[in-house]
Amino acid sequence: MTIVQRYALAVEWFRSNRPSAQSELNFKDPFQLLVAVILSAQCTDKRVNMVTPALFERFPDAASLSAASFDELIHFVKSVSYPNAKARHLIDMAAKLLADFNGDVPSDIDSLMSLPGVGRKTANVIASIVYDKPVIAVDTHVFRVSHRLGLSKGITPYEVELDLERHIAPEDRPVAHHWLILHGRYVCTARAPKCGECPFSSWCPERKLYK
């Protein structure tokens, strides 16, 4: 089976069965999504969603968050992974967002990546969800699923991103990240993939490894 055929089968199934896939993070505006995605690095969305209601109530915008002290902010985020680093990133991010972008979350990838705590994956998530940009964010789930299904042999997340964007139509890219991340989170899991539940098991190159 060619790589073009693999993409065609995967995209066709996802379009038909997961047409409305979306982020599992809870947010009401671009600023809240940006904060939530920064907090979600190496942390579950479920845990982040437990933290953010009180956090957003206390710090609803860049101005209030930029004025926060580390000691106050750490109280809200102490249960997520790497809380010290994330607290500092959030304060610095809010300050730069206020100084350089008038408190508004930018749509440009490079501008997003200029914010503390924002790497390419986070920038792509924001650009895709908020601004419907034709980009695909590659996290550990997307990276793993792409390799297992033979959609990419890229060594780095950026190489996988380029492969996915090369083969997935622009109109499908904003939702494709959610297709792959949710498949990796609930079916094609890292340690014990549920191949019996996978719609791609008949042609998955790694199916035999998990029998």
Is 153 a residue of the active site?
no
Q: Which among 175, 191, 165, 185 is positioned nearest to 40, based on CA atoms?
A: 185
Q: Which amino acid is at 59?
A: F
Evaluate whether 66 touches 25 at the Cβ level (below 8 Å): no
Choice among 86, 121, 133, 163 that is catalytic: 121
Find the catalytic residue in 86, 133, 139, 163: 139
Q: Could you give the C-alpha distances from 211 to 179, 191, 208, in angstroms and in order?
A: 24, 13, 6
DSSP readout, 161-204? HHHHHHHS-TTTHHHHHHHHHHHHHHTS-SSS--GGG-TTTTT-
The 10 Å Cβ neighbour count of residue 75 is 14
From the CB of residue 165, how many other CB atoms can be counted at a distance below 10 Å? Answer: 17
Query: Catalytic residue at 61?
Result: no
Residues identified as active-site = 121, 139
